[in-house]
Structure 1
Amino acid sequence: MSAYLLQAAGLTIRGEGVNIAPFSCSLGPGGRLTLLGETGSGKSLIAQAIMGTLPRGLAAQGRLVIDGETFEAADPTSRRALWGRRLALLPQEPWHALDPTMRAISQVAESHRHVAGRDRRASLQAAWTDLTELGLVDAGAKLPGELSGGMAQRVAFAAASAGGAPIVIADEPTKGLDAPRRDAVVELLARTSERGGALVTITHDIDVARRLGGEVLILRQGQVVERGPAQQVLTHPQSEYGQRLLDAEPGRWPRPAPLSERQAAVVSARGLVKARGGRELFHDLSLTVSPGEIVGVVGPSGCGKSTLGDMLLGVTHADDGEIYRAPGYPLGFQKLYQDPPAAFSPHWRLSRLLDDLVRRHRLDRSAIAPLMARLGLDERLLSRRPGEISGGELQRFAILRVLLLEPCFLFADEPTSRLDPITQRQTLALLVELARERRCGVMLVSHDPALIERTCDRRIALSDGSLREAEPELDPALA
């Protein structure tokens, strides 16, 4: 019997433009492996190949050993009996894992009962314990559609891990979470290996990789470019790409050039009041956004950042107060969603979805190819459906689609949470450049204070129902 909990030997994935070279790993009890790399490099596909859930048109080859049992990667159905009990996947997109008709507490309790085998009462008690540990006591009675993206991510985490599987694959488990919630999830992930299990984590957050330790593997274009102990790889990378990855952490970005001049606001609000679920989100909130200005918005998960954007866009009504939107822009007020799958029909190819957008709004079709090139999107992706590309690639398609509409105001809700540091830096630089060129005001939401500091002209913080202008953080190098 193998001494390893999880082994992959000569794992390859091919089809429809995908070519992931032989991948191998061996994780014993207590082992931790973190996969880093560019968006679309194959990190999530490796997880799906191990689980047996690859998208249509892709096929895996190689040998897998899971909890002492040998499987052929080419037979995806052979691992289904392991799901939740011996092998668990924490998915990148919580909306793919949660039943939209079930309340959060019921979804977690269901896993405790039907996967872990607890009785009804013990399952419900264990579910409340899980939600409490994740700061989700108030979310237990809510449906997934009533949760913020960060809250839904934590509920999916609790439901997937309830079965106590010894092998856990976590695909971007901390995206969209503020620092305290991110640290709490990292601590929960670490428990898998601390109790003798094996943990594979896929992340774009280099700090998460540092905290988890173990072995780090860097992928690029389906190839392993570097691997080794986390401390070594994340301090002194040997590959040129590994060094670029570390240099692209937001804290190392140059500061943006200042806005040349502020003109009449494209959107403004005065005295906004909004309550939800018996809790007041905002009281007497006021703000303005000028053409070409990038305004950062920070605050803990669930504080109302997305709700504020929806009010400014006219999607949600304020309970009181006034909102001004510049006239003359029928398509001028747009949103980049935190979870792009929620914004794309899953049934149509991306080429069809873009064609429909161009035809419906009489847009310039010739603008698509240059924007795809600037966003680093391969034209072959147009032949796939939204669920058949990586979350990072789909997020860039969301950015492409909204830029085609040439908005005058854009509310960008965690628009780069699925992107690797290099692509994130390039994408945000492009977003700022186009906002300046087109005089588009942008409100940028992020849980990363360094990203906000290095991207935005101003930073505002939401907390306890109020908004305050945050002071710029002093660069330590200048202190």
Structure 2
Amino acid sequence: MTKELEFIDLSVSTGEKSLLFKARGALRAGELVAVVGRSGSGKTLLTKAIIGLLPQSLQTEGQILLDGQRLDQLTDKAMDAVRGRRISMLFQQPKRVMNPRLTIRAHLLEAIGARGWNQAREHEDQVLSMLEEVGLSPAADVASKRPDQLSGGMAQRAMLAIALAADPEFILADEPTSSLDSILKSEVLQLLRRKQLERGVGVLFITHDIATVQHIADRVVVVSDGQIVDHCPTAQIFSKDRHAKTRELVEAALPAQREPRTEGSECLLESVAASKNYTRRAKGPAALKPTTLRLHSGQVLGVVGRSGSGKSTFARLLAGLEKPTTGQIINQHQPENATRVQIIAQEPYSSFDPRLSLRTSLSAAVHRLPESQASERIARAMVQVGLSEDLLDRTPGQCSGGQLQRMAIARALLTEPQVLICDESTSALDSVAQRHILDLLLELREKMGLSLVVISHDMEVIRYVSDDVAVFFEGELVEHRPLADFLSKARHQHSKELVAALDLTAAIATSG
């Protein structure tokens, strides 16, 4: 008999406000079901409600059944026997949920249920085998490390090994690839799918990106505003007669359709053999090796690379937030007129003071102007980013991620920059909000003549916005080419891997 995890009329509320309303569905062993939707749609609430990890301030109604057994009626102690053993969880940021004081070996032994020194020795071969199974080697070396000593991709693989350790029947995966670069995302997805098929595990995969799961999911469930609005086999999700919210997610995953802009004649910023070394007396490995690159008027430069490749260091040098160890950044190609550069941070919530109103935060950028002129410039910036001035009287916590990211762009526009540097500025957003922000940036480029430097580990973002692509690898600029040439004739091995991680078949665009 096929094992089944089922939820019936599952609702979550806080006070009188409904967060999840009468969700119904089932997950069978051996299948992978994707739950997709925008940020705040209720996807994660559904997952935590199933496994019983919701905060006590939330009220839950409905039935949760595992092979007919009512999980919602179990005590906390009884649920502890279910979590990890029958139902495992894959978290979005594994380093935050792992114990930073324990080694990966200790985490695996705990998941297996091994207690004491003798049992640890007896299960050593099993620990090493599980790490090798998820592609972590040398396994003995990885087992002895703490979570903070692993890269993002290694930590996610280790989390998968922990989730599989007790041989569970089901895995709930909550956006496990959202913080990974394109190559690691592809690797982890393929690994998860392979292990799911080999072991016959049922996987509920939470994501905001339909394109991520189109080749691995058996079925897709679409959640919007706390309700399941669509449910069908994956092959049907791209047809034109689906629910409006489904089409919105699909359209946000479409590949770029615009033509790259030709290079302008005016050079605004130039990096001439600029490098950065943060080690004492610059004796250690450089964070950024000597880099030569030019940014022209109206150009969109996509900067891509894995975590630690030197992308953000390069951005800080261009913005003047750091001084190069060697070489120079030239931002003054006209006498007495330096190029005005602004940088937009990755995480919008951390770039605003949570105690201050947004009006106060934006006013700080134009505090030297007369009050009437400053107010006029703030009002104009709000119009440019498509926000109501009413939002200025809110605090950051009272805004959505998309609203706050637009507010960060509005603040950057207050100084009337010529260059905007967007350092992973859409990575915290769902795919729909991300597309809206990217379209806004491109619109501002057209209307205001801005040049954009878009830094991302997501090749879909780079493909959508870029005229030219700069690839960084291990602190070095290894490739700099027009987008079309890069996608069709990548030269460096890392560039080829980035392109290979993309879905270039245009299956979404031509379906339906």
- TM-score between the two structures when normalised by the length of structure 1: 0.76
Q: 1:163 & 1:278 partners in 2: Cα distance?
A: 43
* AA partner of residue 52 (structure 2): G
Q: How does 1:155-234 map to 2 (within 5 A)?
A: 156-190=159-193, 191-234=195-238
1:8 aligns with 2:3: no
Aligned-pair distance for 1:9? 0.8
Tell me the equivalent position of 1:309.
Answer: 315
Aligned-pair distance for 1:160? 4.8
Q: 1:138 & 1:262 partners in 2: Cα distance?
A: 53
SS of residue matched to 1:323: strand
Aligned-pair distance for 1:27? 1.6
Identity of aligned residues (%): 25
Match 1:322 to one of 325, 328, 336: 328
1:416 aligns with 2:426: yes
Alignment CA distance shift 1:93-1:247 (3 Å): same
Q: 1:456 & 1:127 partners in 2: Cα distance?
A: 41
SS of residue matched to 1:186: helix
RMSD: 4.6
Task: After superposing the two structures, state which structure 1 stretch, 268-277 or 46-55, moved more.
Answer: 268-277
String of CA shifts for 1:153-201, please: whole Å, max 9, x gaps. Answer: 5555555554543321112222243444223212232223541221000
Tell me the equivalent position of 2:456.
Answer: 446
String of CA shifts for 1:42-64, please: whole Å, max 9, x gaps. Answer: 21221122233336754332111
Aligned-pair distance for 1:313? 4.5
Tell me the equivalent position of 2:45.
Answer: 45
Give unpaired runs (5+ residues) of structure 1: none
Match 2:345 to one of 327, 331, 336: 336
Q: Is the 8 A contact 1:67 1:86 kept in 2?
A: no
Tell me the equivalent position of 1:87.
Answer: 87
SS of residue matched to 1:182: helix
Q: How does 1:218-367 map to 2 (within 5 A)?
A: 218-235=222-239, 238-251=242-255, 253-255=256-258, 258=261, 261=264, 263-266=266-269, 268-272=271-275, 274=277, 282-290=288-296, 292-313=298-319, 318-324=324-330, 333-337=342-346, 343=350, 352=356, 354=358, 357-358=361-362
Q: 1:192 & 1:4 partners in 2: Cα distance?
A: 14
Tell me the equivalent position of 1:108.
Answer: 104
Q: Is the 8 A contact 1:157 1:173 kept in 2?
A: no
SS of residue matched to 1:46: helix
SS of residue matched to 1:82: coil
Q: 2:484 & 2:139 partners in 1: Cα distance?
A: 30
Q: 1:267 & 1:146 partners in 2: Cα distance?
A: 36
Match 2:471 to one of 458, 461, 472: 461
* AA partner of residue 410 (structure 2): L
Q: 1:142 & 1:378 partners in 2: Cα distance?
A: 50
1:30 aligns with 2:18: no
1:20 aligns with 2:20: yes
String of CA shifts for 1:260-289, please: whole Å, max 9, x gaps. Answer: 845442563534255889766643311233
Task: After superposing the two structures, state which structure 1 stretch, 465-474 or 131-140, moved more.
Answer: 131-140
Q: 1:50 & 1:377 partners in 2: Cα distance?
A: 40
Aligned-pair distance for 1:217? 0.9
Task: After superposing the two structures, state which structure 1 stretch, 149-158 or 89-98, moved more.
Answer: 149-158
Q: Is the 8 A contact 2:19 2:226 kept in 1?
A: yes
Q: 1:75 & 1:151 partners in 2: Cα distance?
A: 35
Q: Is the 8 A contact 1:461 1:469 kept in 2?
A: yes
String of CA shifts for 1:311-357, please: whole Å, max 9, x gaps. Answer: 444666655332345799999543422x667x379xx9x57474663
Aligned-pair distance for 1:206? 2.5
Aligned-pair distance for 1:229? 1.2
Tell me the equivalent position of 2:492.
Answer: none
Q: 2:320 & 2:150 partners in 1: Cα distance?
A: 20
Aligned-pair distance for 1:306? 3.3
* AA partner of residue 206 (structure 2): I
Q: 1:128 & 1:85 partners in 2: Cα distance?
A: 18
Aligned-pair distance for 1:132? 4.1
Aligned-pair distance for 1:305? 2.6
SS of residue matched to 2:112: coil
Q: 1:214 & 1:70 partners in 2: Cα distance?
A: 26
Q: 1:377 & 1:242 partners in 2: Cα distance?
A: 31
1:429 aligns with 2:429: no
Q: 1:382 & 1:138 partners in 2: Cα distance?
A: 49
Q: Is the 8 A contact 2:344 2:409 kept in 1?
A: yes
Alignment CA distance shift 1:131-1:395 (3 Å): farther
Alignment CA distance shift 1:12-1:367 (3 Å): farther
String of CA shifts for 1:405-433, please: whole Å, max 9, x gaps. Answer: 43645443433345444332222101222
Q: 2:262 & 2:73 partners in 1: Cα distance?
A: 53
Tell me the equivalent position of 1:400.
Answer: 407
Q: 2:482 & 2:38 partners in 1: Cα distance?
A: 33
* AA partner of residue 477 (structure 2): S
Q: Is the 8 A contact 1:263 1:291 kept in 2?
A: yes
Q: 2:388 & 2:128 partners in 1: Cα distance?
A: 47
Q: 1:262 & 1:12 partners in 2: Cα distance?
A: 59
String of CA shifts for 1:126-163, please: whole Å, max 9, x gaps. Answer: 57536744999998888766776656555555555545
Q: How does 1:124-163 map to 2 (within 5 A)?
A: 125=128, 129=132, 132-133=135-136, 153-154=156-157, 156-163=159-166
Q: 1:136 & 1:289 partners in 2: Cα distance?
A: 44
Alignment CA distance shift 1:453-1:96 (3 Å): same
Alignment CA distance shift 1:273-1:384 (3 Å): closer
Give unpaired runs (5+ residues) of structure 2: 368-373, 489-504, 507-512
Q: 2:141 & 2:291 partners in 1: Cα distance?
A: 24
Q: 1:134 & 1:315 partners in 2: Cα distance?
A: 38
Q: 1:368 & 1:82 partners in 2: Cα distance?
A: 56
